[in-house]
Structure 1
Protein backbone atom coordinates (compact mmCIF):
# COMPACT_ATOMS: atom_id res chain seq x y z
CA UNK A 1 0.00 0.00 0.00
CA UNK A 2 1.39 3.42 -0.99
CA UNK A 3 2.12 5.94 1.77
CA UNK A 4 -0.06 9.04 1.93
CA UNK A 5 1.71 12.18 0.71
CA UNK A 6 0.56 15.80 0.60
CA UNK A 7 3.10 17.43 -1.75
CA UNK A 8 3.75 14.58 -4.21
CA UNK A 9 1.76 11.88 -5.95
CA UNK A 10 3.10 8.33 -6.30
CA UNK A 11 1.86 5.80 -8.83
CA UNK A 12 3.27 2.35 -9.56
CA UNK A 13 2.23 0.52 -12.70
CA UNK A 14 3.93 -2.14 -14.85
CA UNK A 15 7.23 -1.91 -12.94
CA UNK A 16 7.37 1.88 -13.42
CA UNK A 17 6.97 4.24 -10.46
CA UNK A 18 6.00 7.83 -11.22
CA UNK A 19 6.72 10.43 -8.54
CA UNK A 20 4.95 13.70 -9.39
CA UNK A 21 5.57 17.01 -7.62
CA UNK A 22 2.15 18.32 -6.62
CA UNK A 23 2.45 21.96 -5.52
CA UNK A 24 1.44 23.66 -8.77
CA UNK A 25 0.17 26.82 -7.04
CA UNK A 26 3.76 27.64 -6.00
CA UNK A 27 5.39 26.17 -9.12
CA UNK A 28 6.36 23.03 -7.17
CA UNK A 29 8.82 24.98 -5.03
CA UNK A 30 10.66 23.22 -2.22
CA UNK A 31 9.62 23.45 1.39
CA UNK A 32 10.49 21.18 4.29
CA UNK A 33 7.48 18.92 3.63
CA UNK A 34 8.25 18.38 -0.06
CA UNK A 35 11.89 17.66 0.75
CA UNK A 36 10.88 15.15 3.44
CA UNK A 37 8.33 13.41 1.22
CA UNK A 38 10.73 13.10 -1.72
CA UNK A 39 13.35 11.65 0.62
CA UNK A 40 10.83 9.14 1.97
CA UNK A 41 9.42 8.20 -1.43
CA UNK A 42 12.81 7.45 -2.99
CA UNK A 43 13.96 5.49 0.07
CA UNK A 44 10.80 3.39 -0.27
CA UNK A 45 11.12 2.90 -4.05
CA UNK A 46 14.79 1.96 -3.75
CA UNK A 47 13.85 -1.32 -2.08
CA UNK A 48 10.56 -2.13 -3.82
CA UNK A 49 10.89 -5.34 -5.83
CA UNK A 50 7.97 -4.35 -8.11
CA UNK A 51 9.75 -1.17 -9.29
CA UNK A 52 12.50 -1.16 -11.91
CA UNK A 53 12.29 2.41 -13.26
CA UNK A 54 11.31 5.69 -11.60
CA UNK A 55 9.97 8.73 -13.45
CA UNK A 56 10.17 12.10 -11.70
CA UNK A 57 7.54 14.51 -13.04
CA UNK A 58 5.52 17.54 -11.94
CA UNK A 59 2.07 19.09 -12.23
CA UNK A 60 1.34 22.65 -13.28
CA UNK A 61 3.16 25.17 -15.42
CA UNK A 62 6.66 24.72 -13.96
CA UNK A 63 8.73 21.68 -13.08
CA UNK A 64 10.24 23.20 -9.94
CA UNK A 65 10.94 26.83 -9.04
CA UNK A 66 13.53 26.11 -6.34
CA UNK A 67 12.87 27.36 -2.81
CA UNK A 68 9.37 28.25 -1.63
CA UNK A 69 9.01 31.96 -0.74
CA UNK A 70 7.48 31.25 2.67
CA UNK A 71 10.30 28.81 3.39
CA UNK A 72 12.86 31.44 2.31
CA UNK A 73 11.29 34.02 4.64
CA UNK A 74 11.66 31.61 7.53
CA UNK A 75 15.26 30.82 6.57
CA UNK A 76 16.14 34.52 6.49
CA UNK A 77 16.02 34.55 10.28
CA UNK A 78 17.90 31.29 10.86
CA UNK A 79 21.12 31.11 12.84
CA UNK A 80 24.19 29.50 11.28
CA UNK A 81 23.45 26.17 12.98
CA UNK A 82 19.81 26.29 11.89
CA UNK A 83 20.96 26.93 8.32
CA UNK A 84 23.30 23.94 8.54
CA UNK A 85 20.46 21.69 9.70
CA UNK A 86 18.11 23.00 7.02
CA UNK A 87 20.64 22.59 4.19
CA UNK A 88 21.45 19.09 5.43
CA UNK A 89 17.88 17.96 4.76
CA UNK A 90 18.05 19.17 1.15
CA UNK A 91 21.46 17.55 0.73
CA UNK A 92 20.13 14.22 2.02
CA UNK A 93 17.17 14.38 -0.37
CA UNK A 94 19.40 15.04 -3.38
CA UNK A 95 21.82 12.29 -2.41
CA UNK A 96 18.94 9.88 -1.84
CA UNK A 97 17.70 10.37 -5.39
CA UNK A 98 21.21 10.34 -6.87
CA UNK A 99 22.13 7.12 -5.01
CA UNK A 100 18.79 5.42 -5.67
CA UNK A 101 19.79 2.08 -7.23
CA UNK A 102 16.92 2.20 -9.74
CA UNK A 103 17.27 4.36 -12.87
CA UNK A 104 15.53 7.72 -12.47
CA UNK A 105 14.15 9.59 -15.49
CA UNK A 106 13.36 13.29 -15.17
CA UNK A 107 10.27 14.27 -17.19
CA UNK A 108 10.82 18.02 -17.32
CA UNK A 109 7.81 19.74 -18.87
CA UNK A 110 8.33 23.29 -17.57
CA UNK A 111 10.90 25.70 -16.21
CA UNK A 112 13.32 24.64 -13.48
CA UNK A 113 15.10 27.20 -11.32
CA UNK A 114 17.73 26.92 -8.63
CA UNK A 115 17.17 23.79 -6.58
CA UNK A 116 14.80 22.59 -9.28
CA UNK A 117 17.76 22.30 -11.65
CA UNK A 118 19.52 20.33 -8.93
CA UNK A 119 16.57 17.98 -8.81
CA UNK A 120 16.95 17.38 -12.54
CA UNK A 121 20.71 16.92 -12.20
CA UNK A 122 20.44 14.02 -9.75
CA UNK A 123 18.38 12.01 -12.25
CA UNK A 124 20.03 9.54 -14.63
CA UNK A 125 18.19 10.48 -17.81
CA UNK A 126 16.63 13.86 -18.59
CA UNK A 127 13.77 14.26 -21.07
CA UNK A 128 12.79 17.91 -21.50
CA UNK A 129 10.25 19.94 -23.40
CA UNK A 130 11.91 22.23 -25.92
CA UNK A 131 9.94 25.27 -24.68
CA UNK A 132 11.33 25.38 -21.13
CA UNK A 133 14.23 27.25 -19.51
CA UNK A 134 16.69 26.55 -16.71
CA UNK A 135 18.21 29.12 -14.37
CA UNK A 136 20.53 29.29 -11.37
CA UNK A 137 19.00 32.37 -9.80
CA UNK A 138 20.76 32.18 -6.43
CA UNK A 139 23.33 34.93 -7.10
CA UNK A 140 20.50 37.44 -7.67
CA UNK A 141 19.59 36.94 -4.00
CA UNK A 142 23.18 37.10 -2.81
CA UNK A 143 23.27 33.33 -2.44
CA UNK A 144 24.96 30.45 -4.25
CA UNK A 145 23.78 27.04 -5.51
CA UNK A 146 26.05 25.21 -3.09
CA UNK A 147 24.00 22.17 -2.08
CA UNK A 148 23.06 21.26 -5.65
CA UNK A 149 26.47 22.08 -7.13
CA UNK A 150 28.19 18.65 -6.79
CA UNK A 151 25.48 17.13 -8.99
CA UNK A 152 24.97 20.06 -11.35
CA UNK A 153 28.68 20.46 -12.13
CA UNK A 154 28.88 16.74 -12.96
CA UNK A 155 25.79 16.84 -15.15
CA UNK A 156 26.11 20.25 -16.84
CA UNK A 157 29.90 20.58 -16.91
CA UNK A 158 32.39 22.86 -15.22
CA UNK A 159 32.69 25.43 -17.97
CA UNK A 160 28.93 25.95 -18.37
CA UNK A 161 28.54 26.25 -14.60
CA UNK A 162 31.25 28.91 -14.48
CA UNK A 163 28.96 31.03 -16.64
CA UNK A 164 25.48 30.23 -15.44
CA UNK A 165 26.20 30.18 -11.70
CA UNK A 166 27.84 33.62 -11.95
CA UNK A 167 25.48 35.34 -14.41
CA UNK A 168 22.15 33.85 -13.22
CA UNK A 169 21.07 33.95 -16.88
CA UNK A 170 18.23 31.79 -18.09
CA UNK A 171 19.26 29.19 -20.66
CA UNK A 172 17.02 27.19 -22.96
CA UNK A 173 16.33 23.49 -23.05
CA UNK A 174 18.01 23.45 -26.47
CA UNK A 175 21.18 24.92 -24.95
CA UNK A 176 21.00 22.41 -22.08
CA UNK A 177 20.68 19.66 -24.68
CA UNK A 178 23.71 20.97 -26.58
CA UNK A 179 25.70 20.94 -23.35
CA UNK A 180 24.67 17.35 -22.59
CA UNK A 181 22.54 18.16 -19.54
CA UNK A 182 19.34 17.14 -21.35
CA UNK A 183 19.45 13.75 -23.07
CA UNK A 184 16.22 13.98 -25.07
CA UNK A 185 14.69 17.22 -26.32
CA UNK A 186 11.02 16.81 -27.17
CA UNK A 187 7.99 18.75 -28.27
CA UNK A 188 5.64 19.13 -25.32
CA UNK A 189 2.97 16.95 -26.96
CA UNK A 190 5.47 14.10 -27.40
CA UNK A 191 7.05 14.23 -23.94
CA UNK A 192 5.22 11.20 -22.56
CA UNK A 193 6.02 9.14 -25.65
CA UNK A 194 9.71 9.97 -25.29
CA UNK A 195 9.68 8.95 -21.61
CA UNK A 196 7.79 5.75 -22.38
CA UNK A 197 10.32 4.77 -25.05
CA UNK A 198 13.19 5.10 -22.59
CA UNK A 199 11.28 3.17 -19.92
CA UNK A 200 10.57 0.42 -22.47
CA UNK A 201 14.26 0.19 -23.39
CA UNK A 202 15.29 -0.14 -19.75
CA UNK A 203 12.65 -2.77 -18.98
CA UNK A 204 14.01 -5.01 -21.74
CA UNK A 205 17.23 -5.38 -19.78
CA UNK A 206 18.13 -7.48 -16.77
CA UNK A 207 17.05 -5.47 -13.70
CA UNK A 208 20.11 -6.47 -11.68
CA UNK A 209 22.34 -5.56 -14.61
CA UNK A 210 20.69 -2.13 -14.86
CA UNK A 211 21.35 -1.48 -11.17
CA UNK A 212 24.96 -2.63 -11.59
CA UNK A 213 25.44 -0.44 -14.67
CA UNK A 214 24.22 2.66 -12.84
CA UNK A 215 26.53 1.97 -9.89
CA UNK A 216 29.44 1.31 -12.26
CA UNK A 217 29.19 4.81 -13.75
CA UNK A 218 28.82 6.48 -10.36
CA UNK A 219 31.77 4.57 -8.88
CA UNK A 220 34.16 5.16 -11.77
CA UNK A 221 33.18 8.61 -13.07
CA UNK A 222 35.68 10.57 -10.98
CA UNK A 223 38.40 7.93 -10.61
CA UNK A 224 41.70 7.72 -12.42
CA UNK A 225 42.30 4.55 -14.41
CA UNK A 226 44.76 2.66 -12.25
CA UNK A 227 45.40 -0.95 -11.29
CA UNK A 228 42.77 -0.91 -8.51
CA UNK A 229 40.05 0.29 -10.90
CA UNK A 230 41.07 -2.22 -13.55
CA UNK A 231 41.04 -5.10 -11.08
CA UNK A 232 37.71 -3.97 -9.67
CA UNK A 233 36.23 -3.94 -13.19
CA UNK A 234 37.52 -7.49 -13.76
CA UNK A 235 35.90 -8.60 -10.52
CA UNK A 236 32.57 -6.96 -11.38
CA UNK A 237 32.22 -8.61 -14.78
CA UNK A 238 33.21 -12.01 -13.36
CA UNK A 239 30.64 -11.71 -10.57
CA UNK A 240 27.78 -10.67 -12.82
CA UNK A 241 28.57 -13.36 -15.42
CA UNK A 242 28.01 -15.93 -12.68
CA UNK A 243 24.68 -14.45 -11.57
CA UNK A 244 21.44 -16.33 -12.22
CA UNK A 245 20.07 -13.41 -14.23
CA UNK A 246 23.06 -13.28 -16.58
CA UNK A 247 23.26 -17.05 -16.95
CA UNK A 248 19.58 -17.22 -17.90
CA UNK A 249 19.71 -14.31 -20.33
CA UNK A 250 22.93 -15.45 -22.00
CA UNK A 251 21.52 -18.95 -22.42
CA UNK A 252 18.39 -17.59 -24.12
CA UNK A 253 20.48 -15.38 -26.41
CA UNK A 254 22.85 -18.16 -27.40
CA UNK A 255 19.99 -20.56 -28.11
CA UNK A 256 18.53 -18.06 -30.58
CA UNK A 257 21.83 -17.49 -32.41
Structure 2
Protein backbone atom coordinates (compact mmCIF):
# COMPACT_ATOMS: atom_id res chain seq x y z
CA UNK A 1 0.00 0.00 0.00
CA UNK A 2 1.16 3.54 -0.79
CA UNK A 3 3.14 5.73 1.55
CA UNK A 4 1.22 8.73 2.84
CA UNK A 5 2.18 11.87 4.72
CA UNK A 6 -1.12 12.63 6.48
CA UNK A 7 -2.44 9.07 6.80
CA UNK A 8 -1.42 5.56 7.77
CA UNK A 9 -2.97 2.54 6.07
CA UNK A 10 -2.50 -0.85 7.69
CA UNK A 11 -3.83 -4.20 6.53
CA UNK A 12 -4.45 -6.77 9.24
CA UNK A 13 -3.75 -10.44 8.31
CA UNK A 14 -7.25 -11.29 9.55
CA UNK A 15 -8.60 -9.57 6.47
CA UNK A 16 -9.45 -5.97 7.26
CA UNK A 17 -7.72 -2.61 6.95
CA UNK A 18 -7.40 0.37 9.28
CA UNK A 19 -7.12 3.84 7.79
CA UNK A 20 -5.61 6.22 10.34
CA UNK A 21 -5.82 10.01 10.16
CA UNK A 22 -2.29 10.95 11.14
CA UNK A 23 -1.79 14.70 11.54
CA UNK A 24 -1.65 14.45 15.30
CA UNK A 25 0.20 17.76 15.68
CA UNK A 26 -2.70 19.47 13.85
CA UNK A 27 -5.44 17.50 15.63
CA UNK A 28 -5.97 15.64 12.35
CA UNK A 29 -7.39 18.75 10.70
CA UNK A 30 -8.17 18.48 6.99
CA UNK A 31 -6.03 20.16 4.37
CA UNK A 32 -5.83 19.67 0.61
CA UNK A 33 -3.11 17.03 0.93
CA UNK A 34 -5.06 14.95 3.44
CA UNK A 35 -8.15 15.05 1.26
CA UNK A 36 -6.16 13.95 -1.80
CA UNK A 37 -4.49 11.16 0.16
CA UNK A 38 -7.82 9.97 1.57
CA UNK A 39 -9.23 9.74 -1.96
CA UNK A 40 -6.22 7.67 -3.07
CA UNK A 41 -6.37 5.44 0.03
CA UNK A 42 -10.08 4.75 -0.36
CA UNK A 43 -9.55 3.88 -4.03
CA UNK A 44 -6.89 1.37 -2.98
CA UNK A 45 -9.22 -0.12 -0.39
CA UNK A 46 -12.01 -0.39 -2.94
CA UNK A 47 -9.74 -2.32 -5.30
CA UNK A 48 -8.69 -4.86 -2.65
CA UNK A 49 -11.02 -7.83 -3.04
CA UNK A 50 -9.49 -9.56 0.00
CA UNK A 51 -10.81 -7.04 2.51
CA UNK A 52 -13.74 -7.87 4.77
CA UNK A 53 -14.20 -4.37 6.19
CA UNK A 54 -12.41 -1.10 6.92
CA UNK A 55 -11.90 0.87 10.15
CA UNK A 56 -11.48 4.65 10.08
CA UNK A 57 -9.50 5.86 13.09
CA UNK A 58 -7.34 8.80 14.17
CA UNK A 59 -4.04 9.16 15.97
CA UNK A 60 -3.80 11.31 19.07
CA UNK A 61 -6.39 12.98 21.29
CA UNK A 62 -8.83 14.05 18.59
CA UNK A 63 -10.57 12.38 15.68
CA UNK A 64 -10.40 15.59 13.64
CA UNK A 65 -10.69 19.29 14.39
CA UNK A 66 -12.23 19.93 10.96
CA UNK A 67 -10.56 22.15 8.38
CA UNK A 68 -6.96 23.23 8.88
CA UNK A 69 -6.71 26.95 9.64
CA UNK A 70 -3.78 27.53 7.29
CA UNK A 71 -5.61 25.75 4.48
CA UNK A 72 -8.75 27.83 5.08
CA UNK A 73 -6.66 31.00 5.02
CA UNK A 74 -5.20 29.98 1.65
CA UNK A 75 -8.66 29.08 0.33
CA UNK A 76 -9.97 32.52 1.23
CA UNK A 77 -7.54 34.03 -1.26
CA UNK A 78 -8.59 31.74 -4.13
CA UNK A 79 -11.11 32.56 -6.84
CA UNK A 80 -14.46 30.78 -7.28
CA UNK A 81 -13.27 28.18 -9.78
CA UNK A 82 -10.29 27.13 -7.65
CA UNK A 83 -12.55 26.87 -4.60
CA UNK A 84 -14.94 24.80 -6.70
CA UNK A 85 -12.11 22.40 -7.55
CA UNK A 86 -11.35 22.05 -3.82
CA UNK A 87 -15.02 21.37 -3.08
CA UNK A 88 -15.18 18.74 -5.82
CA UNK A 89 -12.18 16.96 -4.33
CA UNK A 90 -13.86 16.91 -0.91
CA UNK A 91 -17.04 15.67 -2.55
CA UNK A 92 -15.11 12.87 -4.25
CA UNK A 93 -13.77 11.84 -0.83
CA UNK A 94 -17.21 11.72 0.79
CA UNK A 95 -18.91 9.90 -2.06
CA UNK A 96 -16.02 7.41 -2.40
CA UNK A 97 -16.18 6.55 1.31
CA UNK A 98 -19.97 6.28 1.18
CA UNK A 99 -19.97 3.88 -1.77
CA UNK A 100 -17.05 1.70 -0.61
CA UNK A 101 -18.08 -1.92 -1.22
CA UNK A 102 -17.04 -3.24 2.19
CA UNK A 103 -18.51 -2.23 5.58
CA UNK A 104 -16.88 0.71 7.33
CA UNK A 105 -16.59 1.46 11.04
CA UNK A 106 -15.45 4.83 12.41
CA UNK A 107 -13.88 4.98 15.88
CA UNK A 108 -14.23 8.48 17.31
CA UNK A 109 -12.39 10.16 20.18
CA UNK A 110 -11.96 13.75 21.28
CA UNK A 111 -13.15 16.47 18.91
CA UNK A 112 -14.94 15.72 15.65
CA UNK A 113 -15.78 19.02 13.99
CA UNK A 114 -16.94 20.17 10.58
CA UNK A 115 -15.90 17.81 7.81
CA UNK A 116 -15.09 15.11 10.37
CA UNK A 117 -18.85 14.65 10.81
CA UNK A 118 -19.00 14.01 7.09
CA UNK A 119 -16.48 11.17 7.37
CA UNK A 120 -18.36 9.65 10.31
CA UNK A 121 -21.70 9.98 8.50
CA UNK A 122 -20.30 8.30 5.38
CA UNK A 123 -19.29 5.22 7.38
CA UNK A 124 -21.81 2.43 7.88
CA UNK A 125 -21.25 2.37 11.64
CA UNK A 126 -19.45 4.45 14.24
CA UNK A 127 -18.57 4.10 17.91
CA UNK A 128 -17.10 6.74 20.19
CA UNK A 129 -15.56 7.68 23.49
CA UNK A 130 -17.97 9.10 26.06
CA UNK A 131 -16.03 12.37 26.25
CA UNK A 132 -16.08 13.00 22.49
CA UNK A 133 -17.45 16.36 21.34
CA UNK A 134 -19.02 16.85 17.92
CA UNK A 135 -19.95 20.00 16.05
CA UNK A 136 -21.13 21.22 12.67
CA UNK A 137 -19.10 24.37 13.16
CA UNK A 138 -19.15 25.92 9.70
CA UNK A 139 -21.68 28.74 10.23
CA UNK A 140 -19.65 30.01 13.18
CA UNK A 141 -16.93 31.06 10.74
CA UNK A 142 -19.20 32.22 7.92
CA UNK A 143 -19.32 28.98 5.93
CA UNK A 144 -21.84 26.17 5.37
CA UNK A 145 -21.53 22.35 5.73
CA UNK A 146 -22.37 22.07 2.06
CA UNK A 147 -20.50 19.04 0.71
CA UNK A 148 -21.10 16.87 3.78
CA UNK A 149 -24.75 17.84 4.26
CA UNK A 150 -26.39 14.97 2.29
CA UNK A 151 -24.54 12.41 4.38
CA UNK A 152 -25.15 14.15 7.70
CA UNK A 153 -28.89 14.39 6.97
CA UNK A 154 -28.97 10.67 6.15
CA UNK A 155 -27.13 9.87 9.38
CA UNK A 156 -29.02 12.00 11.92
CA UNK A 157 -32.20 13.07 10.14
CA UNK A 158 -33.31 16.35 8.63
CA UNK A 159 -34.62 18.00 11.79
CA UNK A 160 -31.52 17.35 13.89
CA UNK A 161 -29.28 18.36 10.98
CA UNK A 162 -31.11 21.69 10.74
CA UNK A 163 -30.58 22.35 14.43
CA UNK A 164 -26.90 21.54 14.63
CA UNK A 165 -25.96 23.01 11.26
CA UNK A 166 -27.74 26.30 12.00
CA UNK A 167 -26.69 26.72 15.64
CA UNK A 168 -23.16 25.26 15.45
CA UNK A 169 -23.77 23.88 18.95
CA UNK A 170 -21.36 21.32 20.23
CA UNK A 171 -23.03 18.07 21.19
CA UNK A 172 -21.87 15.13 23.24
CA UNK A 173 -21.11 11.56 22.27
CA UNK A 174 -24.22 10.46 24.15
CA UNK A 175 -26.32 12.90 22.12
CA UNK A 176 -24.68 11.57 18.95
CA UNK A 177 -25.73 8.07 20.04
CA UNK A 178 -29.31 9.26 20.58
CA UNK A 179 -29.31 10.74 17.08
CA UNK A 180 -27.95 7.53 15.55
CA UNK A 181 -24.62 8.99 14.44
CA UNK A 182 -22.78 6.76 16.94
CA UNK A 183 -23.99 3.21 17.45
CA UNK A 184 -22.42 2.90 20.92
CA UNK A 185 -20.49 5.08 23.37
CA UNK A 186 -17.82 3.76 25.75
CA UNK A 187 -15.54 5.17 28.47
CA UNK A 188 -12.53 6.66 26.69
CA UNK A 189 -10.08 4.21 28.27
CA UNK A 190 -12.14 1.29 26.99
CA UNK A 191 -12.51 2.48 23.40
CA UNK A 192 -9.54 0.51 21.92
CA UNK A 193 -10.72 -2.73 23.54
CA UNK A 194 -14.29 -2.11 22.41
CA UNK A 195 -13.07 -1.44 18.87
CA UNK A 196 -11.36 -4.83 18.98
CA UNK A 197 -14.62 -6.42 20.14
CA UNK A 198 -16.39 -4.92 17.11
CA UNK A 199 -13.63 -6.30 14.90
CA UNK A 200 -14.08 -9.78 16.36
CA UNK A 201 -17.84 -9.56 15.81
CA UNK A 202 -17.44 -8.55 12.16
CA UNK A 203 -14.90 -11.32 11.59
CA UNK A 204 -17.57 -13.89 12.45
CA UNK A 205 -19.48 -12.96 9.30
CA UNK A 206 -19.14 -14.12 5.70
CA UNK A 207 -17.00 -11.65 3.72
CA UNK A 208 -19.15 -12.18 0.63
CA UNK A 209 -22.35 -11.73 2.62
CA UNK A 210 -21.05 -8.49 4.13
CA UNK A 211 -20.48 -7.03 0.66
CA UNK A 212 -23.79 -8.35 -0.66
CA UNK A 213 -25.69 -6.97 2.31
CA UNK A 214 -24.10 -3.54 1.91
CA UNK A 215 -25.09 -3.55 -1.78
CA UNK A 216 -28.60 -4.62 -0.80
CA UNK A 217 -29.02 -1.89 1.81
CA UNK A 218 -27.73 0.75 -0.58
CA UNK A 219 -30.31 -0.35 -3.15
CA UNK A 220 -33.14 -0.47 -0.60
CA UNK A 221 -32.16 2.86 1.02
CA UNK A 222 -35.39 4.59 2.09
CA UNK A 223 -36.96 4.15 -1.32
CA UNK A 224 -40.41 3.19 -2.47
CA UNK A 225 -41.56 -0.42 -2.15
CA UNK A 226 -41.68 -0.85 -5.91
CA UNK A 227 -41.94 -4.00 -8.06
CA UNK A 228 -38.37 -3.37 -9.23
CA UNK A 229 -37.08 -3.27 -5.65
CA UNK A 230 -38.98 -6.47 -4.82
CA UNK A 231 -37.36 -8.23 -7.80
CA UNK A 232 -33.92 -6.95 -6.77
CA UNK A 233 -34.30 -8.32 -3.23
CA UNK A 234 -35.60 -11.69 -4.45
CA UNK A 235 -32.66 -12.02 -6.83
CA UNK A 236 -30.22 -10.98 -4.12
CA UNK A 237 -31.14 -13.84 -1.79
CA UNK A 238 -31.26 -16.36 -4.63
CA UNK A 239 -27.76 -15.35 -5.78
CA UNK A 240 -26.18 -15.59 -2.36
CA UNK A 241 -27.86 -18.91 -1.51
CA UNK A 242 -26.14 -20.59 -4.46
CA UNK A 243 -22.78 -18.84 -3.92
CA UNK A 244 -19.80 -20.71 -2.49
CA UNK A 245 -19.96 -18.91 0.85
CA UNK A 246 -23.74 -19.21 1.00
CA UNK A 247 -23.47 -22.96 0.52
CA UNK A 248 -20.63 -23.23 3.05
CA UNK A 249 -22.56 -21.22 5.61
CA UNK A 250 -25.67 -23.38 5.28
CA UNK A 251 -23.64 -26.59 5.50
CA UNK A 252 -21.73 -25.34 8.54
CA UNK A 253 -24.98 -24.37 10.28
CA UNK A 254 -26.56 -27.77 9.62
CA UNK A 255 -23.38 -29.63 10.60
CA UNK A 256 -23.00 -27.52 13.76
CA UNK A 257 -19.45 -26.38 12.96
CA UNK A 258 -17.81 -22.99 12.34
CA UNK A 259 -17.83 -21.88 8.70
CA UNK A 260 -14.51 -21.65 6.88
CA UNK A 261 -14.25 -17.86 7.11
CA UNK A 262 -14.12 -17.99 10.91
CA UNK A 263 -10.68 -19.61 10.86
CA UNK A 264 -8.33 -17.18 12.64
CA UNK A 265 -4.82 -16.70 11.23
CA UNK A 266 -2.01 -15.47 13.42
CA UNK A 267 -2.73 -11.90 14.55
CA UNK A 268 -0.04 -9.41 13.60
CA UNK A 269 0.57 -6.64 16.11
CA UNK A 270 -0.72 -3.34 14.74
CA UNK A 271 1.49 -0.26 14.88
| Aligned-pair CA distance for 1:50 | 3.5
Q: Which residue of 2 aligns with 1:246?
A: 246
Q: Give, in angstroms, the shift of residue 59 of structure 1.
A: 1.2
More deviation, 45-54/82-91: 45-54
Q: In 1, are the aligned partners of 2:120 and 2:181 still within 8 Å (CA)?
A: no
Equivalence for 1:151: 151
- CA shift at 1:256, angstroms? 2.4
> Shift in Å at residue 198 of structure 1?
1.4
Deviation per residue, 1:145-180 (Å, 9 max, x gap): 010011110011111111100000000001011111
Shift of 1:78: 1.8
Once residues 61 and 191 of structure 2 are traced to their aligned partners in structure 1, the CA distance between those partners, rounded to angstroms, is 14
CA distance in 2, matches of 1:127, 1:88: 28
CA distance in 1, matches of 2:102, 2:149: 22
Partner of residue 195, structure 1: 195
For residue 8 of structure 1, what is the aligned residue in structure 2?
7
In structure 2, distance between residues paired with 1:7 and 1:78: 23
For the residue of structure 1 that corresponds to 2:55, the secondary structure is strand
* Cα distance in 1, alignment partners of residues 204 and 132 from structure 2: 31
Distance 2:212 2:88 in 1: 28
Residue 60 of structure 2 is aligned to residue 82 of structure 1:
no
Give distance in 2, aligned partners of 1:123 and 1:232.
24
SS at 2:116's partner residue?
Answer: helix
- Deviation beyond 3 Å, 4+ runs, structure 1: none
**CA deviation vs aligned residue, 1:214-238 (integer Å, no higher than 9, x gap):** 1211221131111111111111111
Deviation of the 1:103 alpha carbon: 1.1
How far apart are the structure 2 equivalents of 1:66 and 1:7?
14
CA distance in 1, matches of 2:51, 2:240: 21
1:22 — aligned with what? 22
SS of aligned partner of 1:256: coil
Correspondence 1:61-72 to 2 at 5 A: 61-72=61-72
Cα pair 2:139 2:166 within 8 Å, conserved: yes
What does residue 224 of structure 2 align with? Answer: 224
Task: Give the whole-Å Cα distance in 2 for the aligned partners of 1:125 and 1:85.
Answer: 29
Measured in 1, the distance between the counterparts of 2:195 and 2:62 equals 18
Shift of 1:124: 1.0
User: Normalising by structure 2, what TM-score?
Assistant: 0.91
| 1:85-124 equivalence runs, <5 A | 85-124=85-124
State the secondary structure of the residue aligned to 2:255.
Answer: helix
Unaligned runs of 5+ in 1: none
C-alpha separation in 2, matches of 1:218 and 1:83: 30
Instruction: Give the number of aligned pairs.
Output: 256
Q: TM-score, normalised by structure 1?
A: 0.96
Q: Return the offset for 1:251.
A: 1.3
Q: Deviations over 1:105-134 (max 9, x none)?
A: 101011100001111111111010000110
Shift in Å at residue 212 of structure 1?
1.0
